[in-house]
């Protein structure tokens, strides 16, 4: 089955500095989409950005990610983090498998931005 790996459980960054959250995946399907969801404390997960196109940069709210099928990666980056970026970030994929479009999530990375 599909799998998504997020190697960092917690990332701490000083405000104004860049950050990269790692995401790699395994899937046997070709019709696949990739997502980053963000979850603020006591809130529902919300879509941050998504992509299904190889080597195309996707941007939203200052964050960007590029799907690289050659390395099975979809890392999330931001050039200058803000205190309000502190949240839990999930990488996920959805494939056109036999049973439809469930999301397979990584274990999540908590981003803590220090002043």
> CB of 50: closest distance to another protein in angstroms?
6
Is 102 among the residues that bind another protein (CB under 8 A)? yes
Q: Measured between alpha carbons, how far is 5 from 15 in angstroms, rounded to an integer? A: 26
- β 63-66/19-21 pair status: unpaired
Contact window for another protein (CB under 8 A) among 11-19, 60-68, 69-77, 102-110:
102-110
Instruction: Assess 38 for contact with another protein (CB under 8 A).
Output: no
63 binds another protein (CB under 8 A): no
Are 89 and 22 spatial neighbours (Cβ–Cβ below 8 Å)? no
* 101 is an interface residue for another protein by CB under 8 A: yes
Place of tokens 């931001």: 78
Interface residue list for another protein (CB under 8 A): 31-33, 35, 37, 43-47, 50-52, 90, 92, 94-96, 99-108
């Amino acid at each position: 089955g599909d799998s998504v790996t997020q190697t960092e459980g917690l990332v701490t960054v000083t405000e104004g500095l860049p950050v990269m959250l790692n995401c790699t995946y395994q899937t046997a399907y070709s019709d696949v989409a990739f997502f980053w969801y963000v979850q603020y404390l006591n809130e529902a997960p919300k879509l941050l950005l998504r992509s299904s196109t190889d080597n195309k940069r996707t941007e939203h709210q200052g964050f960007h990610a590029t799907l690289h099928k050659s390395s099975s990666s979809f890392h999330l980056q931001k050039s200058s983090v803000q205190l309000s970026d502190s949240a839990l970030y999930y990488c996920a994929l959805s494939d056109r498998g036999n049973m439809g479009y469930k999301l397979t999530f990584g274990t999540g990375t908590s981003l803590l931005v220090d002043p």
